[in-house]
Amino acid sequence: MAAYDPDCLFSDPFVSFRGTERFKRNVANLGAPLSDIRIDIVDWEEGPACLTARWRFSALLPGLPWRPRLAAAGSTTHVLDLQRGRVVRHEERWDLEPGRVLVRLLRPSAPVPSNRWEALMMPLSRGDLPACWEQLSPLLAAAAAGVLGLHAAAAWGAMWVRLG
C-alpha cells in the first residue's frame, strides 16, 4: 500500500470511499477465503499520469456449500499524482453489470451436482423453479413429517393424560 496516497479514492461498481485504511478493512471483510484464484492481465495502457490494466479474474468460493466460481473481467485505472509519486485514485470497472456477476454466484462450479446444495442451486441459477421445487420437495416432506409426528405424539400424550 506504500504506492497509494493515504487519502486515495477507491471506487468499484459497488462502492466508493477514501483512504487506504478503509481499503484494508474492506478487503478483510470480503469473507470466506478464495481458492483456485486466476488473474490474467490481458492488456494495459499507459498515460502521462495514469495506468489502466485490463484483466480477467476468477476464483472458487469454497466457503459456500455449492462452491460457486466468482468470475469477472474489467479494468483498473490508477491515477497518479506525479509530484508526490503516489496513486491518488484507484478505479475498477467491470465489463458486466455487477448484478449479473452476483447472479452467477448462484451457479455451482461443478458441472454435475455432488451435494444437495449444488443440486438445488443448479436449477435456481437457471431460473428453473419447477426443478428447484423437485429438489426441495423431499426435504420439505421430511420436515413436515417430523412436525406432524411431534404434533401427533403431543396429541396422543394429551389424550392419555385426560383418560388416565
Calculate what percentage of the chain has a pLDDT beyond 90.
38
pLDDT surpasses 80 at 155: no
Start-end of H helices in 30-95: none
pTM for the model: 0.67
Q: Residue 121: pLDDT band by 50, 70, 90 thresholds?
A: confident
Q: Which three cell numbers stand for residue 39?
A: 488473474
Query: What 3-state class would DSSP assign to 84?
Result: coil
The domain segmentation of the chain, as residue ranges, is: 4-112, 128-164
Q: What is the CATH number of domain 4-112?
A: 3.10.450.50
pLDDT in tens, 11-70: 998 889 999 999 988 877 766 678 899 999 999 999 999 999 999 999 988 888 888 988
Q: Where are the alpha helices (DSSP H) in the chain?
A: 20-28, 98-104, 116-126, 129-163
C-alpha cell at 122: 443448479
